[in-house]
Chains A and B, each alone.
Chain A
């Protein structure tokens, strides 16, 4: 261990400026929140660069490297690199997130699971792949090429909220392939220094990622306003993949206040959805009204929420969620995007100071005025693991033009049983009751 720390200290001294820069960028991107978007995008790139620089400092690919004939094993060297990134990449991220949470009135201790997930994400999607590619890249441009080919698309897909939606299967696949391939490449390279085989592994990982994304893409789920006054929104799922029909799927929206113009006004919004299935082996689904409270554009909702399968009161363990509530280009369109549904305490103090949490490698906390946040409070928890009420909008809700198309037999895979996925909500001014 003393040897490992000796090597870590050596790298820390060599990269002290880079470490300071990355730490500053991390706190700026995560802790401060309201910064230009490029700062948020630059932070993961900086983490990857720092991890790669640590590996490159004792390069495996360079046969002129001075350390090759020094008496420390490559296993020790690998451990020292992992310790380095844990201390100088992962720890600053953790610190910045805890600081941001605390500043927003969320006790970091109550969010340990989310913080751990973030740590894993940073490790899986950024640090480990960057280290693995650096271990087999002979030159800097090869590392850049490897990152562009493997890591950035994976991270972009994992962080994507656009159509087609990324399923949890794809997320898991991406994480497993990235971690597995990275671990294999690092282990092999440091054990043998046979780098051509390591490069083949990197290429294999890239192919596995792409194949996985191709084969695991979920069916798209759409919704459309059912009527011209936009009071009801229909859900439907990509055609052609159906084996079960959705008889009547609608999600009426009502508004009880003037809306966003009134900065200080409270706004109650109700969401209601009912999805009935003709499927024999499952009860129909109905979403009860979900009132939401908004202030200054912040939607705090809903005190009650339940998912029903017809008459079966299968209450979904909706715990807490934070959503982006964003005004799109078209003023009448709002889009709901929920980053995560997890157990969090109600915020202290001003609820409009809620941060927005996303679980992607490009995650950042935003705050200030609370614009664009939706808080879904925990309700009942009838069974463990039911917390994935993904009222979380994975479904794209699109405004109907004229009469909506007739519903056909639809594939409910996107919201079967315990999951209803909504990607966004479109509303038209004055469309409510």
Chain B
């Protein structure tokens, strides 16, 4: 059973197309990072998958059940944390965890509370942002969910808290599928196994991190003299500096790229190709998506 599968999932808010034809699959045991610029549709996608919003078209299956029919039985197996989730701020942390406990047969928050050093006697509304996220994460991991869905969990957190959250998360996701949307690409890159890139509501790519890292390269070509040429669509964001041109090749293959460059430019002195971190890939794609930018 695939924990999450979306087929042509679309969501409109009146005339705004927030999500279009999303085809997404999060395999069992995968940590899937959903990345994209602000307003790309990440939160909409997650809320539609979680049955918080009804889809306008298409469908999705979550834990083998139609997302529109997700009920208590499924939510008992899902841990959901969102950056903009409104918590019951009037509750003390301990009361909140006590409130959640009866809903889950496998509840065990003790170790997590200790690990995150949660102040049980303080109200959620009085906690710092980092502590609130920790409390939310504890309440969503304490029952060993099969599917963990995290919507921008690291936004606005300092590096120390981020590290603690990631550490705590990684210790408890064994066997579970994780869908995480995040701007903190450097952090996500360290533990994500899959990545998907959303742009204007459309999923531009979705693949394993290894293959993603392999196909994106920042290429620097030094020519004998400045030249012009017709530019392939998959070579993103070309920047000329005299006889030197830099671009991002989104379908990099060493031999093939070199061959195409030689066919385009008569006097090539040097070709350098550097691997790119996820953040650089994301920035390159985001820049290319802007009006006038070269895109894949």
Instruction: Give the B-binding residues of A (Cβ under 8 A).
Output: 2-3, 6, 10, 13-14, 62-66, 68-73, 76, 193-194
Contacts and interface: CB of A to CB of B under 8 A. Distances in A.
Report the 3 A-B pairs with minimum CB-CB distance, sorted nearest first: A69-B80, A71-B76, A71-B72
Given A6-B102, A70-B103, A71-B104, A65 B72 contact: no
A72 B50 contact: no
Contact of B72 (A10, A64, A73, A194): A73
Interface in B77-93: 78, 80, 82, 84-88, 90-91
B99 A10 contact: yes
Given A14-B90, A73-B71, A68 B104 contact: no
B52 A72 contact: no
A63 B54 CA distance: 11
B53 interface: yes
B100 interface: yes
A193 B47 CA distance: 14
Given A14-B88, A64-B84, A64-B85, A69 B52 contact: yes
B40 to A, nearest CB: 18
B107 to A, nearest CB: 11
B159 interface: no
A63 B75 contact: no
A193 B54 CA distance: 9
A417 B273 CA distance: 101
Contact of A66 (B53, B76, B88, B95): B88
17 contacts: A3-B103, A6-B99, A10-B99, A14-B91, A63-B47, A63-B52, A63-B53, A66-B136, A69-B50, A69-B75, A69-B80, A71-B71, A71-B72, A71-B75, A72-B103, A76-B72, A193-B54
Residue picked from A14, A71, A73, A76, most chain B C-beta under 10 Å: A71
B86 A64 contact: yes
A194 B80 CA distance: 22
B72 A72 contact: yes
Given A3-B102, A63-B52, A71 B85 contact: no
B73 interface: yes
Contact of A68 (B52, B90, B91): B52
Contacts of B54: 193-194
A327 to B, nearest CB: 50
Nearest to A74: B71
A14 B99 CA distance: 12
A65 B103 contact: no
Interface string B96-135: 0001101110000000000000000000000000000000
B86 A71 contact: no
A301 to B, nearest CB: 55
A76 B102 CA distance: 14
B92 to A, nearest CB: 10
Nearest to B50: A69
